[in-house]
Amino acid sequence: MGLCVSSGYAQTTTYFEQNFSSSSNVADYKGGGTNKFTEILGNTPSTTGINNEALTLTKASGGQVRFAKTDDLFSANPTILYVQFTVSVDITEPSAAVNPYNYLYFGNLNDNGSLPANASVFARLGFHFPTAGNSFNLHLQDGGSVTKGPYIGTKTITWVLNVSGNATTYTDEDGRTGTLAANKMDVWVDNSLEFDEANELSTGVSPTDFKFLWNNSNGTLTLDNLKILGSQGPMPVELLYFKAVALAGQVRLNWATASEKNARSFVVERSTNAERFELLETYNASGTTNQPKEYQALDRHPLPGKSYYRLRQIDEDGTEYVCRTVSVERPESAELDVQILGNPLLNAQQFTVRTTARDVSYELYTHQGEPIPMRVTRADGNQDDLQVQQGLRKGLYLLRATQAKRVVTRRIVVE
């Protein structure tokens, strides 16, 4: 699955993406598979954790911290590999080591704490912490020990690796551009090119795994917004923009293309956490055209709070591309939105409630206030199925719905 982006960018595949916002438990980000590490570990007395929706690695004397993904990011090598993340540090015990042995590796790797042999490493980027505080250096062995920095505070690192073995050019999602000879790589800090066409290490190795080891100095390193992308070839659709705007009770989505080639459809999806998406609607694309095209969609039952919308494009041959993900923030409505479908009810055994709120609990009572046992299961989309154990006789009932501090009561009529 690729990524269609703005005009002039290469067709890009997202291999890994994690912003640590879905859970405060490190264990939930381990286990391998889509967007999960195979290992996140702090050897005692070192620790790992999730704080403020970011991964924190806290290294203490005598311990090591590391993370890895060794279940293969891809099966076919891209032309260009993009590695991007934000990083900040708080160093309590610096190290003056010339070779710091704190590296992010790409190659054919394993999950243990040993330094990988050069023959298994495609490329590596070193981190050096020679002073206490919130600064760090970047380090490469590039015809000798080369160190850049210091960098203070939170920085965005964009590491661009030529995987093709031939000279190539690139333009990343944020507009950084460059030319890389065979077996070369660039390293950007924010929008500054710090290492220009540095040497990769063992180019006969496929960089399907990554691994980070922190061995020297002590303190805390915070990592967030890790993305690993690969690009090759021209893309079939040049996307100009994809936007989401919150309206009164709805969300409007707009997107436009500069050109399309063999484009069959666009799929709009929705998510609460930018990881698991549900289908919202499918729209016809324009086939093949060099003329700008504009599209619009409407989410008539949007989620409260912050939600995410993703645009996918499907070619005539069934090839899919993830185009872009955007977020939108909606305030909680004053009253809890709860609708009982099919009321008055003919089926006295089970009924369905539609709500845009999350984590709603339900209580069912007779008109005289006697509780009625029932079982609640989450159905597709924004619907909950409520099954009454004993069934309901004809008459009037009251359904109490609670979410956080909001409570509403709905009348149910059984005919």
Q: Please, what CATH class does the domain formed by 237-330 belong to?
A: mainly beta
What local confidence, expressed as pLDDT, does residue 235 receive? 52
Instruction: Write out the chain's pLDDT in tens, 415 residues.
Output: 334 543 334 457 889 999 999 999 999 999 999 999 999 999 999 999 999 999 999 999 999 999 999 999 998 888 899 999 999 999 999 998 877 789 999 999 999 999 999 999 999 999 999 999 999 999 998 777 889 999 999 999 999 999 988 787 787 777 788 888 889 999 999 999 999 999 999 888 999 999 999 999 999 999 999 999 998 654 567 778 889 998 877 899 999 988 888 889 999 999 887 778 889 999 999 999 888 999 999 998 887 778 889 888 888 877 777 777 888 887 655 567 788 888 888 767 788 888 877 778 888 888 777 888 888 887 666 788 888 877 788 888 888 888 777 778 888 888 7
User: Edge-to-edge strands of the sheet including 338-340?
Assistant: 338-340, 350-355, 383-388, 374-378
Q: Is the pTM of this model over 0.85?
A: no
Two structure tokens written together for 90: 């708080």
Question: What count of other Cβ atoms lies within 10 Å of the Cβ of residue 78?
Answer: 23
Alpha carbon distances (Å) from 276 to 35, 237, 259, 309, 410: 11, 24, 29, 11, 31
Same fold, 237-330 and 338-414: yes
Pairing of strands 121-128, 250-271: unpaired
Structural fold of domain 338-414: Immunoglobulin-like (2.60.40)
CATH number of 14-231: 2.60.120.200
What local confidence, expressed as pLDDT, does residue 72 receive? 94
Domain boundaries, the chain: 14-231, 237-330, 338-414
User: b/e per residue, 369-388, with b = 16+ CB within 10 A?
Assistant: eeebebeeeeeeebebebeb
What local confidence, expressed as pLDDT, does residue 250 receive? 84
Side chain identity, residue 382: N
Side chain identity, residue 174: D
What local confidence, expressed as pLDDT, does residue 335 receive? 65
CA dist 112 and 102 (Å) reads 14
